[in-house]
Amino acid sequence: MSSRLINIIIPVIAVFLGILVGTIIMVFSGYSPVEGYTALWNGIFGEIYYVGETIRQVTPYIFAGLAVAFAFRTGLFNIGVEGQLIVGWLAAVWVGVSFELPKIIHLPLAILAAAVAGALWGFIPGLLKAKFKVHEVIVTIMMNYVALHVTNAIIRTYLSESSDRTENVAESASLASPFFETLTDYSRMHWGIFIALVCAFIMWFFLEKTTKGYELRAVGFNQHASQYAGMNVGNNIILSMVISGAFAGLAGAMEGLGTFGYASIKGGFTGVGFDGIAVALLGGNAAIGVILAALLFGGLKIGALNMPLEAGVPNELVDIIIALIIFFVASSYMIRWFIERLRNKKGVK
């Protein structure tokens, strides 16, 4: 069995084990696993509206997963995706409500503003890491809170008059699609899913097919060897965090320009940025893996809303299953060891 195949099998086993343990928890809690998972399935595929909502949820998950995965692939741990998403959300909405432009200019400009805002928010921990050796995990965690409260203050002070939210973005800056709304029984599915898929391809191509992508991965593997080979390690660390932040900012644009169409004062984090860590881990930090993991997590999040209605099962159980999946992915060494043992036994026979 090749290493590539093992890397594919491990996430599948992790998902299976997570669902299995979730089943056991349901049984001991007095709920029917059959009814629970049937309600979950129906909440994803039972109606065309749910399918549209699932795709809508998957869209920011892809971007958040790409942000975390890109940083991982280049040797960095970006815990600040949530904050970068929030500032990207605000930047996109600000452009969307502040200008009157043709759609061919206005929408790309709003999306670009989100990417730039996220990139700038990623630049700060990248610079501190490159120049002063400050660990990016500490800085990015703290900057999540800065992003949350600063954006709330900006919305409260400059972008809202009497309510706790901005105006809706102009039609020329909206990702909303009347075609998809009609097709999916007026779900909030929008054009952002196609942008997410394109960005996943761009990440794959950049990392796997370009010289700069190889250089970034090399720095991630071994900074000392890369520096000995003549690579500028500091600049590559900064660039990695900037690109990761740009992906996170785009996740915010999907929410601000697509799902909601406005920015509001938030009482807490959205959770999408933190879920992006799980998406990246389950997806093996690969572009196609991130897409598949985002589909799974997006489906679980939307389908969970139907579980209390049809089966009386608390939808928090899905959060437990997701946590278990992450646990088993993080424990992939044990799964890998078990597979190797089975392979060795077969080889002896």
Q: How far apart are CA 162 and CA 164, in angstroms?
A: 7
Burial of 161 (0-12, 13-18, 19+ CB in 10 A): exposed
Q: How far apart are CA 133 and CA 334, in angstroms?
A: 33
Could you tell me the two tokens for 46?
A: 């039972």
Q: What is the DSSP letter of 191?
A: T
Q: 123-152 burial string, b = 16+ CB within 10 Å, else e?
A: bbbbbbbbeeeeebeebbeebbeebbeebb
φ, ψ at 176 (rounded to 5°)? -60, 145
Q: What pLDDT does residue 4 have?
A: 72
Q: How far apart are CA 273 and CA 110, in angstroms?
A: 20
Closest CA to 136 of 84, 212, 205: 84
Q: Are 259 and 190 in contact (CB under 8 A)?
A: yes
Could you tell me the two tokens for 50?
A: 């749910």
Q: What is the DSSP letter of 264?
A: B
- At position 47, the amino acid (one-letter code) is E
Q: What is the DSSP letter of 46?
A: S
| Widest CA span in the chain | 76
Q: How would you write the pLDDT of the chain (349 residues) with one tens digit per residue?
A: 566 777 778 888 888 988 999 999 999 999 999 999 999 999 999 999 999 999 999 999 999 999 999 999 999 999 999 999 999 999 999 999 999 999 999 999 999 999 999 999 999 999 999 999 999 999 999 999 999 999 999 999 999 877 899 999 999 999 999 999 999 999 999 999 999 999 999 999 999 999 999 999 999 988 889 888 889 999 999 999 999 999 999 999 999 999 999 999 999 999 999 999 999 988 989 999 999 999 999 999 999 999 999 999 888 888 888 888 888 877 776 777 777 777 776 665 5
Q: What is the pLDDT of residues 187-222, one digit of tens each?
A: 999 999 999 999 999 999 999 999 999 999 999 988
- At position 197, the amino acid (one-letter code) is L
Q: How far apart are CA 328 and CA 282, in angstroms?
A: 9
Q: How many alpha carbons fall within 13 Å on the CB side of residue 287?
A: 14
> pTM, whole model, 2 decimals?
0.94
Query: CA dist 123 to 50, 83, 128, 140, 243, Å?
Result: 37, 13, 9, 10, 9
- At position 202, the amino acid (one-letter code) is I
Q: What pLDDT does residue 349 have?
A: 54
Q: How far apart are CA 111 and CA 144, in angstroms?
A: 21
Q: What pLDDT does residue 323 have?
A: 87
Q: What pLDDT does residue 62 have?
A: 98
Q: Are 141 and 80 in contact (CB under 8 A)?
A: yes
Q: What pLDDT does residue 39 have?
A: 94
Q: What pLDDT does residue 276 have?
A: 95
- At position 167, the amino acid (one-letter code) is E
Q: What pLDDT does residue 3 have?
A: 66
Q: What is the pLDDT of residues 314-349, one digit of tens each?
A: 888 888 888 888 888 777 767 777 777 777 766 655
